[in-house]
Chain A
Amino acid sequence: MHNPAASRHRSRFRAPVALAVVATFALAACSNSSASGGGKYGFKEAKQSSSAQITVWIDSTRQPAADAYKKANPNDPVKVVTYDGEANGSGSFKTKMNLYDKAGSGWPDVVFSSQNNDASWASQGTNGAQAYAAVLNKGLVPDNTLSGWSKGSLDACTVNGQVYCLRNDLAQDVLWYNKTLMDQFGYTVPKTWEDYQALGDKVAQDHPGYIIGAVGDTFAEEIYMWSSQCQANDVTGARAITINTSSTGCTQMAGLLDKEIANKSITTDSVFTPEFVKAYTGKVLMMPGPAWYAGAIFDNKTSLNVPAGQIGVAAPPSWGTNAPVTGDVGGGTWFISSHSKNLALATKFAEFVTTDDAYQVDQAPGYPAYASAGQKWIAKQQSSGYYATDLSAITTAGGEVWSGWGAPTFSQEAIWAKTMTPVITSGGSIASNLGKWQTAIADQAKVDGYTVSTK
């Protein structure tokens, strides 16, 4: 039977409990923000205006992403500015943001960088200025969105547990090969670097003019040296790095490259030059390289333009019986400005270009870092019938990126371009210049405030 006295008693109890719960949440929220520097997202926000225009900096390769956003959201006030995208570690992103820091205004709201080491400086404010990058995992980007990124893909964006950028694509290195040519010549796909070298020797003898790799690009070290576990970029702390280019990983790979360059089965041309396209269209037997070679080199009318049904993907080689590891070439990161006057729109844009199917699945040249988009991208590529094999090797390789190659504030690509590319293109030996490479990295690291050790 209904007991009026009892129910009244219970209801009197509920209110204070509810209040206490609310109070606890409020307190927790308050203490959270004060602990991470003010503001509800973990950084001090500028005065927000929901109608303020946002400025987005992209490189010309990301133009389709901006166009896709504008098509889907034609009424949003988005201004697109093109810059070099930090290509080859030019440093323009960092220097321009420092310029704006000094001036105290003018920062772009969203920036794309083709490098993946920018979070190391963008997360730090210098000389009293607030850090450029907005913290994303304290509420600005919902947790269930952030958790949708492939495992480990946001590591390059994470500093001290805070996420500062969104990864655009995974650029793990795999072994691309031309199945038609390989079958035609009767070769098997190498599983180890030793086999790779042996294959190169055979190709040089039996089919001169065909190549199994290219080292003319500034990211050659991210394909070959990283996969070889070369200890040239072992970031051990916030400002500590270990550099030892005479470690086995480096010397073994340098020897392999020198030998195969000498017998011309590996070319010293950059894969983006017209000379490469002219000399090697139809002559690329295989090419270790990142996932984005798919749309940038092979399935590209202005590049090799390999016909459908020829290109296959295999797991990246490793030395001997070592566990498979691979490298990574870029992968791009999207930053949101902590000074943005319209964080809502900036976040909406950044989320769209990294997760939305309209760009990442339908148009992206590389393997999206957002897991579900990545799966759909793989499925789309496989169902297109362009590839001769399935693309599972790409997915597997995603989890095999060697963690011994870090993301310091300076650019390894820029150092390789300045020091080693001239050596390579003028016919010099990589192995005998490893010391020169070591000194160049160490010098630059010291200039950037790193303590360098060699063991």
Chain B
Amino acid sequence: MTTVRRRGAARRQDASPGPQGLRVGSLTGWSGRTVTGAILLVFVVFFIVPLIWLLLAMTKSGGALVRQGPFSFGSWHDLVANWDQLTSFQDHAIGQWLFNSAFYSVAALVLTLVISIPAGYAMALTKFKGRRTLLVITLVVMLIPNTALVLPLFLEMNAVGLVNTALAVVLPYSFYPFGVYLAYIYFSSSIPGSLLEAARIDGAGELQVFVRIALPLAMPIIALVGFFNFVQNWNNYFLPFVMLPSSGKYPVQVGLSTLLSSTTAFNPSAAGSGSIELPTLALATVVSVLPVLIIFLFSQRFLVAGLTAGGTKG
């Protein structure tokens, strides 16, 4: 019935001119849809064309990149050649860098979840002294970008001799107040206190309540916090740039700047047998975001729906 009524209403609106003065700047009808469609299309081009170009660029040779059109496929042979050039740079440095990125991000991810999920649970569903203060501090700190404290953090890490070690990045990555806040919101809204109450009355200890009841229900938020944290860790530049001065410890993002400095097209004085061509740099860029890109692609339904699901009522 509702649907029929809606359709009827729409038809009525299109047909009748309506009261004067309410049609100012009307965007109904085909012209409105055309404008909307055009704008949406323009931005599809804006967002997607650079990515498509990047994927095609890595299949070309340096010369082909300049000669051929931007949206032509190169050749598998050129792709392999670019891959060889990339891996032979500085003795397979790219492999070391990718491993570093993975290690730092995953280690920090695990640590973040271990710290943040129980904390969010505790702030939402238990009572302890200082809970409100901690919550307020978390809210305030969470909006501060993580690059704000890199330099004093460096001195702090330096004082305990951790600079140039993996811990110097893994530990700061694991401090993730935004994750705590997300967990807090989730636990306070999705888990009825009565459930936990019942378990407690049955004689379960606090740890059992958390592990047996809250945690299984918290899978969505664990995934969400994990996802955000992993992506943020993987893409972080400033912190590892300062904390890990040695090339062998670079995550792949910082390694990209070494590759850039050896690319003749951008750093012309870097001409030599060790220099990198543009398509190889493009390949390196793709390789550097591949894990995150794959995760995006696989979790797209969850992400695109999940970030917006919180809004649907009922």
A contacts B directly in the complex (CB < 8 Å)? Answer: yes
Which residues of chain A have a CB within 8 Å of any CB of chain B? 58-64, 67, 79-85, 87-88, 96, 99-100, 102-106, 114, 270-274, 296, 300, 302
Q: Which of B109-148 contact A (CB under 8 A)?
A: none
Known: A80-B90, A82-B258, A84-B261. A59 touches B246 (CB 8 A): no
Contact of A103 among B91, B245, B271 (CB under 8 A): B245
Please state if A87 and B247 are interface contacts (CB–CB under 8 Å): no
Known: A67-B273, A88-B269, A105-B164. A80 touches B245 (CB 8 A): no
Any A CB within 8 A of the CB of B270: yes
- Distance (whole angstroms) from the CB of A63 to the closest CB of chain B: 3
Please name the residue on chain B nearest to A65 by beta carbon: B272
20 contacts between A and B (CB under 8 A): A59-B262, A59-B269, A59-B270, A60-B275, A61-B269, A61-B271, A67-B273, A80-B91, A81-B247, A82-B262, A83-B247, A84-B270, A87-B269, A88-B269, A99-B163, A100-B245, A104-B161, A114-B269, A272-B271, A274-B265
Please name the residue on chain A nearest to B267 by beta carbon: A87
Contact of A81 among B90, B164, B270, B276 (CB under 8 A): B90
1/0 contact string of B264-292 vs chain A (CB within 8 Å): 11011111111110000000000000000
Please state if A82 and B268 are interface contacts (CB–CB under 8 Å): no
Known: A83-B247, A102-B158. A63 touches B261 (CB 8 A): no
Please state if B272 and A61 are interface contacts (CB–CB under 8 Å): yes
For chain B, give the interface size range: 20 to 34
CA distance A419 to B265 in the complex (A): 22
Interface secondary structure of B, over-half rule: loop
Please state if B270 and A60 are interface contacts (CB–CB under 8 Å): yes
Inside 8 A of B275's CB, which chain A residues have their CB?
60-61, 63
CA distance A85 to B275 in the complex (A): 12
Contact of B271 among A80, A105, A296 (CB under 8 A): A296
Please state if B269 and A106 are interface contacts (CB–CB under 8 Å): no
Given contacts A87-B261, A102-B158, A296-B271, 6 further A-B contacts (CB under 8 A): A61-B270, A61-B271, A62-B274, A82-B89, A82-B258, A302-B271
Any A CB within 8 A of the CB of B22: no
Interface secondary structure of A, over-half rule: mixed
Which residues of chain B have a CB within 8 Å of any CB of chain A? 66, 89-91, 154-155, 158, 161, 163-164, 242, 245-248, 258, 261-262, 264-265, 267-276
CA distance A53 to B101 in the complex (A): 25
Please state if B261 and A83 are interface contacts (CB–CB under 8 Å): yes
CA distance A167 to B190 in the complex (A): 69
Please name the residue on chain B nearest to A102 by beta carbon: B158
CA distance A60 to B269 in the complex (A): 9
Known: A81-B90, A82-B89, A84-B261. A102 touches B270 (CB 8 A): no
- Distance (whole angstroms) from the CB of A97 to the closest CB of chain B: 9
- Distance (whole angstroms) from the CB of A91 to the closest CB of chain B: 13
- Distance (whole angstroms) from the CB of A107 to the closest CB of chain B: 10
CA distance A114 to B271 in the complex (A): 13
4 nearest A-B residue pairs (beta carbon): A272-B268, A63-B274, A84-B261, A60-B274
Please state if A82 and B274 are interface contacts (CB–CB under 8 Å): yes
Q: Which of B90, B158, B272 has the most A CB atoms < 10 Å from its CB?
A: B272
Please state if A60 and B262 are interface contacts (CB–CB under 8 Å): yes
Please state if A99 and B242 are interface contacts (CB–CB under 8 Å): yes
CA distance A246 to B275 in the complex (A): 40
- Distance (whole angstroms) from the CB of A188 to the closest CB of chain B: 32
CA distance A76 to B171 in the complex (A): 37
Inside 8 A of A104's CB, which chain B residues have their CB?
161
Please state if B245 and A106 are interface contacts (CB–CB under 8 Å): yes
CA distance A67 to B88 in the complex (A): 13
Please state if B274 and A102 are interface contacts (CB–CB under 8 Å): no
Contact of B273 among A63, A274, A300 (CB under 8 A): A63
Known: A81-B90, A82-B262, A83-B258. A103 touches B164 (CB 8 A): yes
Inside 8 A of A302's CB, which chain B residues have their CB?
264, 271
CA distance A273 to B66 in the complex (A): 13
Inside 8 A of A62's CB, which chain B residues have their CB?
272, 274
Known: A60-B274, A105-B164. A272 touches B242 (CB 8 A): no
